[in-house]
Copies of this chain bind each other. A is one copy, B any other.
Amino acid sequence: MSARNPQLNRNGELTHLLTLEGLPQAVITHILDTAEPFASIGEREVKKVPLLRGKGVFNLFFENSTRTRTTFEIAAKRLSADVINLNIGASSTSKGETLLDTVDNLCAMNADMFVVRHSQSGAPHLIASHLEAMGRTHVHVVNAGDGRHAHPTQGLLDLYTIRHYKREFQGLTVAIVGDVLHSRVARSLIHGLTTMRAAEVRVIAPRTLLPSHVETLGVSVHNDMREGLRDCDVIVMLRLQNERMKGALLPSAGEYFQQYGLTLDKLALAKRDAIVMHPGPMNRGVEIDSPVADGERSVILPQVTFGIAVRMAVLSIIASK
């Protein structure tokens, strides 16, 4: 990979979306601005625009995720693209074909865009580099989640949601609560918030669920949730993966809820107008209590709606390059 940011073309325009790390503030702002009009398309009678008509968007999911795949499928269809869903776990990989051979084959079928989900960090980068090496500069990659590395469209929809409710990032204190260690969602959001110059980003978690040297990402660390939530503007709860609950990292789901579950009680410590976010799917009664999830400060469902708009923005910006 060249020293140049592999997501940007020679003119500094977005050509792949791989990670929010290192993405210039102006590019992020452009994506959020582009998403604005799309956010209202869903309420129209006819929800389609012809921006990607005749383009082939390939959902290349090496890791199963019906929810994320569906949001990209909806976004692409609203842009009038032709969508091909490929659950690769069940096909070529099992036949021993390499990742890049699969990509080359799909390019030969005139794919215009790959939306890639992979359990291994770096897979979308690898594909983007390969496309560039092969001179296929008209084919674009969007990272839909790779290992523990990044989930940039989730990060962008989180930023969109925060901007929507708080107008600007300056002066905001954002708390990210839970399993930061295994969360690409947290990592992408932290990079995004740092770039957008949020006043303070706090991570709140037990030591066992924090990456070592997490402070180097520019966040402050809290092990006590009540202390960490004090005067926050935005609270982002992370999903506690079921497998963590059974492992040695945590005492029990009940005790986790006791210490790190967001209840109305704990929420009262944040600012009066604080918003509550969650990437979904929620574990009610584990990381979040139902009165909070369904309460008036929850913006969890608007996040989903904005997620479609943000993905439409990313796909349409990239396709126009």
Contact = CB atoms under 8 A, between A and B. Distances in A.
Interface stretch (A7-15, A16-24, A70-78, A258-266): A70-78
Interface stretch (A117-125, A169-177, A281-289): A281-289
A54 B48 contact: yes
A281 B101 contact: yes
Contacts of A44: 54
Given A70-B84, A105-B304, A305-B110, A45 B56 contact: no
Nearest to A65: B91
- Among A43, A45, A304, which residue has the most Cβ atoms of chain B within 10 A? A304
A135 interface: no
B53 A110 contact: no
Contacts of A307: 109
Contact of A74 (B70, B74, B109, B280): B109
B46 A98 contact: no
Kindly name the residue among A64, A92, A109 whose own CB sees the greatest number of chain B CB atoms within 10 A.
A109
A70 B242 contact: no
Given A109-B305, A110-B43, A242-B96, A56 B74 contact: yes
Contacts of A87: 66
A92 B109 contact: no
Contacts of A98: 284
Given A47-B54, A54-B44, A304-B108, A92 B67 contact: yes
A43 B303 CA distance: 36
B88 A84 contact: no
A82 to B, nearest CB: 5
Contacts of A54: 44-48
A86 B69 CA distance: 10
Given A47-B110, A74-B56, A308-B110, A105 B280 contact: yes
Contacts of A53: 46, 48
A104 interface: yes
Contact of A91 (B45, B67, B283): B67
A95 interface: yes
Contacts of A67: 91-92, 105
A248 interface: no
A262 to B, nearest CB: 16
B64 A74 contact: no
Given A96-B281, A109-B305, 17 more contacts: A48-B53, A66-B90, A70-B86, A74-B84, A92-B281, A95-B281, A96-B242, A97-B280, A98-B284, A101-B280, A105-B280, A105-B301, A107-B301, A108-B301, A108-B304, A108-B305, A110-B308
